[in-house]
Structure 1
């Protein structure tokens, strides 16, 4: 009982449940808000996803600096630490620019996918990032995948395949946009997500930088690359209607929700554990499907979708539990590195 009383609380509620509720709310909200912002009728030009990605990186940079300031004691010390880290090694900074580029491309792909797929189809299909991350970890980091994980990945692939099976006219009636473009975008995002995450994990194993310092570096380079991408991809549109064309409260909400995603996951991993995080992700998928069908009315679940979603939920749970059991059985001390990597990964892939 003493352990329970000593655990952190917010308004009398244990922080593990508060952080879990925040995770579910953030995950569902960012999908719902982003989909709404890309499909809602607007007067004049719609906002550019490239500029939204840029502002999201800027907000992540600010948030990460604030958390670093809290960690080291004061903003002046944090600023000095950042400058020392940036001056330490040019090669180290170049290494960070690689995942920054991948994350920038990935975030743009997520906007494209949610412009063409319903929130429910996107949310379930995007779980393929587990498959791409696992395979790339095996190829790049020489990680071994046990039989349980391979079984989970097979179930996951089967579930997504069931969801993506052609439905004929019924599917076109409830879905706006080009489903082929949306599917290509979300699958490409899964690959960039996996590659960036694996590469970042490799970097984290070679450095003693805190997660907030690493996030500052990623957001800094990500912001520069995103700004360049704005003019490379949408330079003509920016010249015609301005950098912040089509911006509204909803667009700023999307940017803010994207930026705080990783902070929420960090809280879950700090106050709870991966089991609760897995439960939160599963609950988020179910709620996203319900909201997509009821509120946006862009999605009508059929038997194949229900079966596919169940497969995805089972697969993600099975994979997560298998990973935790492996860490415990091996006594893995690299768990904190993995958590830091996962926290940053979710910050940039929601």
Structure 2
């Protein structure tokens, strides 16, 4: 009963975390007035560092706040098992790339379009689950995934091609760049998620210890990214340039996401994780329209600025629910 309850609690928290992260990240990157923006690469590093500190506190709590026990666990599970630790380098590097790509995507796409397109990761996750974990999917499940791909293609179809009026983009940036960033993130998310699930379920190590290992590599890769891509800006204005309370909220939500996803993978699986994150589409769409005002439905058929997009939101969630159940 307890693991089952943990599964649904973690899924619920994941829905709220995903929705909050997408909207706050979008707002912080594109809609928050004037002034210098914070460095996305710096925010990724900050999130990894916060995740490591949080996991250390959780391991400390699990061992009755004993410094000796914490030191023993870190030595036995991380330092004395270098090969086990190195296994996490692959998903860590991919997750670091993915986190940076999400900032690029949300700087160039509205929250609703981003959320729908990013659900392609359900297809990539299913493919990697079949090839790496030996899972079997039925005919209806494959058909659901095929229709999901069709829905995502319709969302990205040019408005003019469907007979809709041409309109000025609702936000600055290149939509093509945003879509490419999301697609790369989908493939990286599918592979890294299934790889991490395989590691978690084949070993008896604590989820928090695994996250510390993952975070250490993520911190290293993230720092390399900061100095390779933003080194000049860091030298001019520092690592934390443009940071404010909203930036730290984004960092905290991103760190929380890593922990919640690990719990979901441990107590459920990656496909169910995809279902939970897809539920946040509806929440993101409503808030994007009523609050952020960067998602503009047309007056005909109650559809979005991309014809059929609203229908695809509803159909996609119904299909994913059937797929997961």
Shorter-chain TM-score bucket reads: 0.7 to 0.9
Change (3 A) 1:88 1:160: same
- In structure 2, the partner of 1:291 is 287
- TM (norm. structure 1) is 0.80
Matches within 5 A, 1:30-109: 30-76=21-67, 77-109=69-101
Q: Does residue 319 of structure 1 match 2:308?
A: no
Match of 2:255 in 1: 259
RMSD, aligned CA: 2.9
Output the CA distance in 1 between the equivalents of 2:308 and 2:70: 52
1:156-167 counterparts in 2 under 5 A? 156-167=148-159
Check 1:278–1:186 CA distance in 2 against 1; reply closer, same or farther (3 A cut): closer
Aligned-partner Cα distance in 1 for 2:125–2:268: 23
Three-state SS of the structure 1 residue aligned to 2:239 is coil
d(CA) in 1 for partners of 2:265, 2:202 = 22
Distance 1:266 1:201, change over 3 A: closer
Instruction: Render the CA deviation track for 1:288-325: whole Å, top value 9, x for unaligned.
Output: 1011112222112324101221232122212211xxxx
Q: 1:16 to 1:207 in 2, by over 3 A?
A: closer
TM-score, scaled relative to structure 2:
0.85
CA shift, 1:86, in A, is 1.6
Equivalent pair of 1:132/1:190 in contact (CA under 8 Å): yes
Structure 1 portions without partners, runs of 5+: 8-13, 322-350
- 2: distance between equivalents of 1:200 and 1:261? 15
Which residue is equivalent to 1:195?
191
Write the distance in 2 (CA, Å) between the matches of 1:195 and 1:276.
15
Q: Are the equivalent residues in 1 in contact too, given 2:102–2:182 (CA < 8 A)?
A: yes
Q: CA deviation at 1:23?
A: 3.8
- 1:120-131 to structure 2, matched below 5 A, reads 120-131=112-123
Cα 1:230–1:164 change in 2 (3 A) is: same
Range 201-210 or range 234-243, more displaced: 201-210
Aligned length: 311
Cα distance change, pair 102–39 in 1 and its aligned pair in 2 (3 A): same
Q: Using the TM superposition, name which of 110-119 and 287-296 deviates more.
A: 287-296
